[in-house]
Amino acid sequence: MLTIISDLLDTRQIHDVRALIDAAQWVDGNVTSGHQSALAKNNLQLPEDAPESRQAGQIILEALGRNPLFIAAALPLKIFPPLFNSYAGGQGFGVHVDSAVRIQAGSGFRVRSDLSITMFLEDPDSYAGGELTVETQFGAQQVKLPAGHAVLYPSSSLHRVNPVTSGRRVASFFWLQSMVRDDSARQTLFDLDSSIQALATAVGQDNAEIIRLTGVYHNLLRRWADA
């Protein structure tokens, strides 16, 4: 499942995040790479423990917590603190799969990476290339979104960032552990929830069938969730 989350950050929040990270010291992006990723990765990144990264990440986490589409699609249990990267001058990230478990540097905090998130922080017209390409069951899908928009996709998928041939691509990226490990089960719950919300708008939340379907949703969630 690939889900676009539009306008996750508003103009003010984008400005605040960029003011923080643009003033920080960037390092080689391989500081967080596994062995396989290091062979394909060529970018810059903010260190995990940089105060600017933590402050900017908190803005994003608070926005996620208020976003109903994100909650419905991800069913998040634990979220890795957002990281930030930059691509320019032909830099890119070849085809790879994200590590199954991410451990926060200097702590015991870890997440199973069920879903990956890329939050775009640059006007897409200001740089060439830099598309996030995700291999899905329907073929490769390319994603290049306006600043403040995000995309959610399975961490198990093959994906890459195409080389940036002009300008600069700036984004946040991170992972989460869902309450529902299985992608297909999570998709089923999301589709059911979306249908319930659409039907409730048409016939009312107190409709007997809406109440029955809501019970089905929660009983499936109860069966599949690890919480």
Tell me which fold the domain 183-224 belongs to: DNA Excision Repair, Uvrb; Chain A (4.10.860)
How high is the pLDDT of residue 33?
52
| pLDDT tens sequence across 6-30 | 999 999 999 999 999 999 999 997 7
Which pTM was predicted?
0.92
Domain ranges of the chain: 3-178, 183-224
Angle at 195 between CA 3 and CA 118, to 5 degrees: 10
- Cβ contacts of 115 within 8 Å, gap of 6 or more: 74, 152, 153, 154, 155, 175, 176, 178
CB 1 within 8 A of CB 154: yes
CB 147 within 8 A of CB 123: yes
CB 150 within 8 A of CB 74: no
Evaluate whether 3-178 and 183-224 have a shared fold.
Answer: no
For the segment 101-124, the average pLDDT, to the nearest whole number, is: 94
**169 in a labelled binding site:** yes
Closest C-alpha to 8, from 71, 50, 85: 71
**159 in a labelled binding site:** yes
| pLDDT tens sequence across 33-74 | 555 555 578 999 999 999 999 999 999 999 999 999 999 999
**35 in a labelled binding site:** no
The CB density around residue 99, as the number of other CB atoms within 10 Å, is: 16
Domain 3-178 has CATH 2.60.120.620: yes
pLDDT above 90: residue 157: yes
- 3-state helix, strand and coil shares in percent for the chain, rounded to the nearest 5: 35, 30, 35
How high is the pLDDT of residue 41?
83
